[in-house]
Amino acid sequence: MLTKLGIGFSNSTPISDLLDYALLAEQYDLSFWLNEGYHNRSAPVVMAAIASRTKTLELGLGIVSPVLRHPFIIAMEAGAIDEISGGRLILGLGLAAAGAKRHKIDVRTIHPTEVMTESAWIIRRMIAGEAVTSTKSFQTLEEGIKLGFRPPRREIPLYLGAMNPRMLELGGELFDGVLLNYACPLSYAKFAIEHVIRGSRKRKRASPPVAAFLLISVAERQGDAMEASRRYLPHYLSRAYPISLRYANVSEAEASPVIEALKKSDHKRAVSEVTDGLIAKLTISGTPDYCVREILKYSDAGVDQIIAEQILGPSPREAIEMIGKEIAPKVVSRSGKHSRA
């Protein structure tokens, strides 16, 4: 069983909708995750608004990128959101390679594991109230820099958004949790967890929780859920990670007609090129009972938290209610405890 079931959105979603969805998530004891797609609404700003409107909602901010947002600034924002929320924040860090590319930054040339290790060190020290001095990648004054206020917690859970083996192992070695990006096929989740465990063994520590973002669409009728996914998948395929497609067994022959239509700005044709096979490989789309069966496969594989990302269903509000009423009670452990050693 999972320790938590959550919903996730991009910061491309209107703020009024995000606030509405967050209040629904709180009602059903779901976690709420907001990722930062560049260059949309500022995810920390939106999350601060959500924090101020909720009382018990677990807040996941992630991922944010220390490549594009300085880790000293991330520490300031995370500490402030944790103060507003009364200590409910989980902070997710990641490279955001696609966003970096827009600024002509190739993340492969900046020693990614070094940057993420140093960023985690900086953020943790600053949240703890300590003065932080220069690292190889991030320079400060000789006397160091510290926060000018005290967040409610001296430690904020820090999760690493990871895809490749070395980064997954770094998550297991140094972070409080690991985030797997959508679409996250089941075979990839199993591969990723193996590497997270391998990383944890380097420090002889318990393997941290693993949360997986999944493309989930739920409706009373499976056909309606699939059609919602069909409309979304061209957007996903245009920026999908090759490793996700490889583990999902998505061939070039399946994906290329969709991509070619998008290149010609023909979204209607791109949607028509999305086959039922692609939907089955890249999403969990169906009735609540179908979603329960598929989600439990991830739990059995060792995933601790599932985050239903982006699609949710033909009606996001109705889908959140179905997730809260009909899915969460059947997939989330009452103890809510992470148990993987």
Sorted by sequence, the CB contacts under 8 Å of residue 217 that are 6+ apart come out as 225, 226, 228, 229, 232, 283, 284, 285, 286, 311, 312, 313, 314, 319
The CA distances from residue 131 to 29, 126, 139, 175, in Å, are 37, 7, 13, 21
- Say which DSSP state 209 is in: P
3-state secondary structure 139-185: CCCCCCECCCCCCCCCCCCEEEEECCHHHHHHHHHHCCEEEECCCCC
Domain ranges, residue 197: 4-219+288-331
Sign for the CA dihedral angle at 332, 10, 224, 250 comes to negative
* SS3 state at 216: strand
User: How confident is the model at residue 46, as a pLDDT?
Assistant: 97
- Say which DSSP state 64 is in: E
CATH of the domain at 296: 3.20.20.30
Block means of pLDDT (10 residues each) for the chain, length 341 residues? 96 94 98 89 96 98 90 96 98 81 72 93 96 88 89 97 96 98 95 98 95 97 97 92 94 95 95 97 97 98 95 92 97 76 54
**Within a domain: 305:** yes
**Within a domain: 227:** no
d(CA 320, CA 308): 9
d(CA 252, CA 272): 17
- To the question of pTM greater than 0.85 for the whole model, the response is yes
Q: What share of the chain is helix, strand, coil (3-state, %, to 5)?
A: 50, 15, 35
d(CA 210, CA 202): 17
Number of structural domains, the chain? 1
**Within a domain: 102:** yes
User: How confident is the model at residue 334, as a pLDDT?
Assistant: 79
**Within a domain: 136:** yes
**Within a domain: 257:** no
**Within a domain: 239:** no
User: How confident is the model at residue 336, as a pLDDT?
Assistant: 66
**Within a domain: 240:** no
**Within a domain: 127:** yes
